[in-house]
């Protein structure tokens, strides 16, 4: 069923831009107060008393007046559970365990299994066709956080709470006709509640939880998708993606091929036939754009963060089933130009000759605008709590989930992110240490060679240290789509002649104490709009570059040779290479930065390109 399995719990990030983001995420999780996170849970259970006059409640979508209040608490628990398991942060775990126990206290006070921050009336009204805003979505996110606390943080009480919640939903949904269930799903989004029931069934084996999973499939979505009908164009994207997650997990827990076909057809409709922006993302105004039509959809509401995160998760499902490098490429592009670009931004903290300054910060950019002269709009710490605010805290605790995968006799490196892995392969322990090569000096030592570093390297270089007990297995290293030449690989200093097959460099041997060095040539490329090939974005490897200009500019050059339009600028600061470019041979000079580094500057991603003058 699954060709590969994610080695999530066995992996830990090492120092990189990913740990910076995760660190800011954990700091934020610690900063928020339990009494604010649980304000609506307490209120619904009647446990606030007079305390509600002394607590400053959250604003925005977590406000006590919001119909989806308390949603964020579930995302907080999910992020905290993963961060605790990876980092061993016992203060965060104690705080998370306290939240679980307090939700349990609320459930006990409610007396019927209800443990949620909204009234039961909301769901009964939904049943009667008078839906409030996304009530089952709220319930799903809270149960998701609790179940993650069991799965990642070992909190047994959290599992018992979820099982009692499932009893409530079993009673509730068991009395509802199928047509009414379908109407309910059309009336408001349910989040990934089908996936949650499948996850719970995988833990308990209780047929009741399997039945809940089947009840919460959305046939008015899945049946047309299964037939290959394009019902996605102009449809709200993030309503449907978590529902397809439910089918993906249903396939894994039941083995029923129908569920897998639904997922594969959805991907074909959403990505393969539709195309993506240069960032790897999609959508404008939260809906899917028409297939291969992008130029009329560049606006201020492109690439909703929730869509980026959930499509990465969908790609991960498909990668585990197939091992197809294209899914890992998709994840990489969205990691760099979505998750890293849209959450936990912080400005520089000091000027070389000045005292440190208080940095500006932003939790999440709900959208990633792609119109000329765009600007990211950053949410605040306690005033917004958009849905993307919720997925941001999860996403930045989840980076390690997409790096390593184990097979029957293989170990796959799907993402080049500094990290450490300790796992078991063939019944024997295997450890792998992945680090970016040190390119700060005058040269890079690559085997017996010394590669000069007079200018910024035009490659990514990584070093892997493998420790095993003589097991024979294949180490699979991804050869990314953006390569500008054949990858160069050394094992214990000796060049390997292994060919790239289907996007992978495969090294098979008996591993003991071995070192693998990998050099991935990269460079500039143009990524045109599907329906306007004369308008393109620039990428450096997988990383989208954005021009710091507040309006549309026309560039002159050859899209097949981006170096006719851009060149490096300000490439070095102390021991660090910088990814700064500027235009060349143009009427006006424009500075380009990686989109993921941009905070509040005005920027443009897509530029009309005219051919070079003769």
Model pLDDT, residue 350: 47
- Kindly state whether residue 336 falls inside one of the protein's structural domains: no
Model pLDDT, residue 259: 98
Let me know whether 47 and 138 are in one domain: yes
- Kindly state whether residue 395 falls inside one of the protein's structural domains: no
d(C-alpha 483, C-alpha 166), whole Å: 48
Let me know whether 407 and 458 are in one domain: yes
**Domain end marker among 273, 290, 313:** 273
Model pLDDT, residue 611: 87
Let me know whether 599 and 503 are in one domain: no
Let me know whether 72 and 137 are in one domain: yes
- Kindly state whether residue 243 falls inside one of the protein's structural domains: yes
- Kindly state whether residue 10 falls inside one of the protein's structural domains: no
Give the three-class secondary structure for 160.
Answer: helix
Let me know whether 36 and 59 are in one domain: yes
Task: Report which DSSP code applies to 506.
Answer: E
The encoded tokens of residue 432 equal 């792998």
Over 80: is that where the pLDDT of 477 sits?
yes
Q: What are the CA-CA distances from residue 341 to residues 17, 108, 120, 546 (Å)?
A: 11, 42, 38, 11
Of 241, 308, 306, nearest in space to 279 by CA: 308
Beta carbons of 331 and 316 less than 8 angstroms apart: yes
Let me know whether 213 and 145 are in one domain: no
- Kindly state whether residue 146 falls inside one of the protein's structural domains: yes
Over 80: is that where the pLDDT of 52 sits?
no
d(C-alpha 455, C-alpha 202), whole Å: 53
Let me know whether 49 and 151 are in one domain: yes
Model pLDDT, residue 2: 83
Backbone angles phi, psi at 197, to 5 degrees: -65, -35
Q: Per residue in 53-92, pLDDT tens?
A: 556 789 999 999 999 999 999 999 999 999 999 999 999 9
Q: How many CA atoms lie within 13 A of 290 on its CB side?
A: 5
Beta carbons of 49 and 113 less than 8 angstroms apart: no
User: Percentage of the chain with pLDDT > 90?
Assistant: 93
* Maximum separation of any 2 CA atoms in the chain, in Å: 80
Task: Report which DSSP code applies to 37.
Answer: H
Let me know whether 511 and 420 are in one domain: yes
d(C-alpha 307, C-alpha 115), whole Å: 28
Model pLDDT, residue 614: 46
Model confidence at 497, in pLDDT bands (50, 70, 90)? confident
The domain that contains 464 carries what CATH number? 2.60.40
DSSP 445-501: EETTEEEE-SS--SEEEEEEEEEEEEEEEEEEEE--TT-SS--EEEETTEEP-PPEE
Average pLDDT over residues 352-376: 85
490 forms beta bridges with 495, 517
Cβ–Cβ contacts within 10 Å for residue 255, how many?
Answer: 10
- Kindly state whether residue 367 falls inside one of the protein's structural domains: no
Model confidence at 349, in pLDDT bands (50, 70, 90)? low
Q: Per residue in 359-368, pLDDT tens?
A: 899 999 999 9
The residues, any chain, with a CB within 8 Å of residue 295's CB and separated by 6 or more, are 529, 531, 532, 535
Statement: the pTM of the whole predicted model exceeds 0.95? yes
Q: Per residue in 159-211, pLDDT tens?
A: 999 999 999 999 999 999 999 999 999 999 999 999 999 999 999 999 999 99
Q: For the chain, state the CA radius of gyration.
A: 25
Let me know whether 479 and 562 are in one domain: no
**Domain end marker among 497, 521, 545:** 521
- Kindly state whether residue 221 falls inside one of the protein's structural domains: yes
Give the three-class secondary structure for 607.
Answer: strand
Over 50: is that where the pLDDT of 481 sits?
yes
Average pLDDT over residues 388-406: 98
Let me know whether 78 and 192 are in one domain: no
Of 95, 123, 100, 115, nearest in space to 31 by CA: 95
Model pLDDT, residue 140: 98
- Kindly state whether residue 92 falls inside one of the protein's structural domains: yes
**Domain end marker among 521, 539, 557:** 521
Vertex 198 angle, CA 192 and 200, to 5°: 105
Beta carbons of 489 and 517 less than 8 angstroms apart: yes
Residue 51 vs residue 342, higher pLDDT: 342
Over 50: is that where the pLDDT of 287 sits?
yes
Let me know whether 256 and 185 are in one domain: yes
The count of structural domains within the chain is: 4
Let me know whether 217 and 90 are in one domain: no
Model pLDDT, residue 268: 98
* Structural domain of 212: 176-273
Of 66, 121, 36, 115, nearest in space to 382 by CA: 36
């Amino acid at each position: 069923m699954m060709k590969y399995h994610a080695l999530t719990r066995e992996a830990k990030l090492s120092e990189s831009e990913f740990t910076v983001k995760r660190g800011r995420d954990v700091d934020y999780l610690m900063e928020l107060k339990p009494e604010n996170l649980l304000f609506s849970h307490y209120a619904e259970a009647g446990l606030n008393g007079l305390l509600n006059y002394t607590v400053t409640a959250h604003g925005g979508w977590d406000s006590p007046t919001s119909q989806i209040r308390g949603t964020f608490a579930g995302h907080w628990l999910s992020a905290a559970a993963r961060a605790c398991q990876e980092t061993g942060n016992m203060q965060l775990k104690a705080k998370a365990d306290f939240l679980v126990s307090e939700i349990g206290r609320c459930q006990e006070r409610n007396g019927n299994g209800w443990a949620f921050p909204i009234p039961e009336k909301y769901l009964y009204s939904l049943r009667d066709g008078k839906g409030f805003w996304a009530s089952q979505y709220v319930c799903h996110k809270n149960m998701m956080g609790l179940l993650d606390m069991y799965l990642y943080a070992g909190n047994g009480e959290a599992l018992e709470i979820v099982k009692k919640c499932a009893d409530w939903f079993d009673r509730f949904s068991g009395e509802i006709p199928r047509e009414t269930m379908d109407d309910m799903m059309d009336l408001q989004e349910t989040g990934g509640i089908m996936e949650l029931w499948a996850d719970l069934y995988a833990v308990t084996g209780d047929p009741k939880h399997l039945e809940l999973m089947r009840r919460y499939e959305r046939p008015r979505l899945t049946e047309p998708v299964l037939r290959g009908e394009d019902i996605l164009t102009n449809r709200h994207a993030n309503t449907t993606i978590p529902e397809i997650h439910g089918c993906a997990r249903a396939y894994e827990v039941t083995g029923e091929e129908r569920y897998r076909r639904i997922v594969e057809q959805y991907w074909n409709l959403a990505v393969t036939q539709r195309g993506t922006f240069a960032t790897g993302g999609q959508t404008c105004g939260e809906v899917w754009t028409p297939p291969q039509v992008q130029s009329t959809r560049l606006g201020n509401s492109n690439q909703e963060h929730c869509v980026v995160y959930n499509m990465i998760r969908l790609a991960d499902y498909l990668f585990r089933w197939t091992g197809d490098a294209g899914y890992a490429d998709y994840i990489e592009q969205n990691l760099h130009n979505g998750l890293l670009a849209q959450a936990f931004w912080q400005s520089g903290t000091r000027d070389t000759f000045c005292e440190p300054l208080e940095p500006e910060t932003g939790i999440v950019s709900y959208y990633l605008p792609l119109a000329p002269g765009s600007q990211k709009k950053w949410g605040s710490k306690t005033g917004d709590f958009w849905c993307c605010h919720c997925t941001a805290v999860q996403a930045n605790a989840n980076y390690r989930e997409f790096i390593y995968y184990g097979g029957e006799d293989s170990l796959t490196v799907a993402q080049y992110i500094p990290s450490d892995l300790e796992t078991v392969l063939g019944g024997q322990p295997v450890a792998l240490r992945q680090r970016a090569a040190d390119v700060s000096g005058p040269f890079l030592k690559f085997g017996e060679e010394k590669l000069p570093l007079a200018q910024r390297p035009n490659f990514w270089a990584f070093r892997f240290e493998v420790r095993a007990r003589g097991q024979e297995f294949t180490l699979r290293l991804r050869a990314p789509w953006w390569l500008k030449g054949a990858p160069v690989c050394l094992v214990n200093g000796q060049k390997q002649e292994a060919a790239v097959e289907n996007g992978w460099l495969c090294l098979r041997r008996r591993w003991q104490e071995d070192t693998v060095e990998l050099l991935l040539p990269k460079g500039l490329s143009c990524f045109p709009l599907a329906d306007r090939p004369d308008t393109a974005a620039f990428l450096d490897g997988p990383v989208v570059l954005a021009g710091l200009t507040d309006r549309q500019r026309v560039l002159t050059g050859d899209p097949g040779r981006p170096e006719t339009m851009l060149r490096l600028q300000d490439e070095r600061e102390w021991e660090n290479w910088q990814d700064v470019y500027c235009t060349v041979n143009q009427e006006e000079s424009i500075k380009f930065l990686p989109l993921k580094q941009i905070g509040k500057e005005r920027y443009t991603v897509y530029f009309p390109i005219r051919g070079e003058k003769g």
